[in-house]
Amino acid sequence: MQKTGFLPRIAMALAMTALVGACSSGATTAPSAAAPSAAAPSAAAPSAAAAAKTFADMTVGFIQTGSESGWRAANTASFKETATQKGITLKFYDAQNKLENQVSAFHQFNQDPSVNVIILAALDVTGYDDVLKEAKAAGKVVVLEDRRIDADPSMYYTYIGSDFINEGHEGAAAMCDLLKAFPADKHNVAEISGAVGASAAIDRAKGFREKMGDCGIPDPTSLGLSQTGNWGVPESKAVMEAFLKKTKNIQGVFAHNDEEAIGAIQAIKEAGLVPGKDIMVVGFDATADGFKSLISGEMGADIECNPLLAPQVYDAALKALNGDTSLPKWVPSQEGAFFAAQGKDALQAILATRKY
Ligand code: GZL
């Protein structure tokens, strides 16, 4: 689904007949602040005589963050199922959301002579310099999936993942549409952010703040209404409970993923308020649980983030193994947004077509 301009998204979505949640990645052009330059990937070109590598020649060391959300479960399934379909040997490592585990696994894969491709879903934007250097020296192909990192682009082949800053822009525009239900001086939004240090959280927060002024939303930090929910329901519910004990003068919640939005909704209801009427909630990911909250009207908007990245990532890694330097350093996912205002029937029809 194409990125929309800044016309009211609800109006745009309602004007569309069927929303297709298809996510495909186009070649990069204007990446976000963290965008690496389009330097040539680091993979060495094979000799002319060497036969082209196939997926059967690929052994992947995949370093996943953990299993913190529905998005993450769909992302893991994409890599496991696609590896089986393509005949790729996959060595999967779940880091249990610990950076030190990711670095240790990366080092192990660098030492493993059978591994020729390393794929990283980075928990943090920093902390990988030494293992990236080690991978380069060992001639491993490194592909970043899902999240960007603050590293020299020459240290990896490419990054395939979302433009989280644009997602933040979409979230702010959706929140401005939803807050039209309130007077202009009643646009207080609480933020339940993702894990500290994660590029998805850093950039969604940045994008939202770049556009929230369009409808006079004060910075949640300045209101003392910004805290991490660590991507999960229980912690986000506790954060929202604390916010509501502090003040009832909250008209919106900017939650960095669907689990955090659902936690906030639970707290709003237990405080005797009506989500979607008293407080407008915007989430990210557009998972099945997020869709259920849109259908109930408890969530007002859900900004899509595509977890089904494995086919593109494995294709990119195979290009690298065959010395293809045509890929840019960032291939952003094309994503859309969904709104409660589209109505129960339309949303249920879309949900029926989605894989996660
Ligand atoms: C986004 C991804 C984020 C999701 C969360 O690409 O990195 O991590 O939004 C997940 O649900 O934990």
Tens of pLDDT, residue by residue over 292-329, are 999 999 999 999 999 999 999 999 999 999 999 999 99
Q: 293 in ligand 1 pocket by Cβ < 6 Å?
A: no
Average pLDDT over residues 225-229: 98
Q: Domain 6-18+164-305+337-351 belongs to what architecture?
A: 3-Layer(aba) Sandwich (3.40)
Q: How far is the CA of 67 from the centre of ligand 1 (A)?
A: 10
> Who has greater pLDDT, 69 or 43?
69
Q: 257 in ligand 1 pocket by Cβ < 6 Å?
A: yes
Q: How far is the CA of 17 from the centre of ligand 1 (A)?
A: 29
Tell the residue nearest (CA) to atom 1 of ligand 1: 200
CA 126 – CA 138 distance, rounded (Å):
21
Q: What is the pLDDT of residues 272-293, one digit of tens each?
A: 999 999 999 999 999 999 999 9
Instruction: Name, in order, each residue with C-beta under 8 angstroms of 162's C-beta and a sequence gap of 6 or more.
Output: 146, 200, 305, 306, 332, 333, 335
CA 309 – CA 279 distance, rounded (Å):
33
Burial of 138 (0-12, 13-18, 19+ CB in 10 A): middle
How far is the CA of 48 from the CAs of 45, 51, 53, 316, 323, in angstroms?
A: 9, 8, 12, 20, 10
- The residues spanned by each domain of the chain are 6-18+164-305+337-351, 37-162+308-332
Average pLDDT over residues 226-242: 98
DSSP label at residue 8: -
Structure tokens that stand for 234 in this block: 């229980």
Q: Which fold has domain 37-162+308-332?
A: Rossmann fold (3.40.50)
Whose structure tokens read 């859309």? 336
Average pLDDT over residues 92-97: 98
pLDDT for res 111: 98
DSSP string covering 54-97:
-GGG-EEEEEE--S-SHHHHHHHHHHHHHHHHHT-EEEEEE-TT
State whether the Cα torsion 203-206-210-213 is positive or negative: positive
Q: What is the pLDDT of residues 151-188, one digit of tens each?
A: 999 999 999 999 999 999 999 999 999 999 999 999 99
Average pLDDT over residues 257-269: 98
Q: Which atom from ligand 1 is nearest to the alpha carbon of 68?
A: 12
Angle at 291 between CA 290 and CA 295, to 5 degrees: 120
Mean pLDDT of the chain: 90
pLDDT for res 334: 81
Q: What is the pLDDT of residues 100-117, one digit of tens each?
A: 999 999 999 999 999 999
User: Residue 221's pLDDT band (boundaries 50, 70, 90)?
Assistant: very high
Would you say 62 and 95 are in contact if contact means Cβ atoms under 8 Å apart? no
Whether 37-162+308-332 and 6-18+164-305+337-351 are alike in CATH topology: the answer is: yes
Structure tokens that stand for 342 in this block: 């589209």
Structure tokens that stand for 233 in this block: 């329901």
pLDDT for res 333: 85
DSSP string covering 231-288:
T-HHHHHHHHHHHHHH-S---EEEESSHHHHHHHHHHHHHTT--BTTTBEEEEEE--H
User: Residue 47's pLDDT band (boundaries 50, 70, 90)?
Assistant: low
User: Residue 51's pLDDT band (boundaries 50, 70, 90)?
Assistant: confident
Q: What percent of the chain has pLDDT over 90?
A: 85
Instruction: Name, in order, each residue with C-beta under 8 angstroms of 335's C-beta and a sequence gap of 6 or more.
Output: 1, 3, 23, 162, 167, 303, 304, 305, 306
> Who has greater pLDDT, 47 or 125?
125
Please tell me whether residue 203 adopts helix, strand or coil conformation: helix
Q: Which of 314, 263, 267 is nearest to 290 (CA)?
A: 263
Mutation test residue for ligand 1: of 64, 68, 69, 334, the one with most atoms within 8 Å of CB: 69
Please tell me whether residue 134 adopts helix, strand or coil conformation: helix
Q: 193 in ligand 1 pocket by Cβ < 6 Å?
A: no
Lowest-pLDDT choice from 77-91, 160-174, 209-223, 321-335: 321-335
CA 147 – CA 161 distance, rounded (Å):
6
Q: Which atom from ligand 1 is nearest to the alpha carbon of 161?
A: 6
pLDDT for res 28: 44
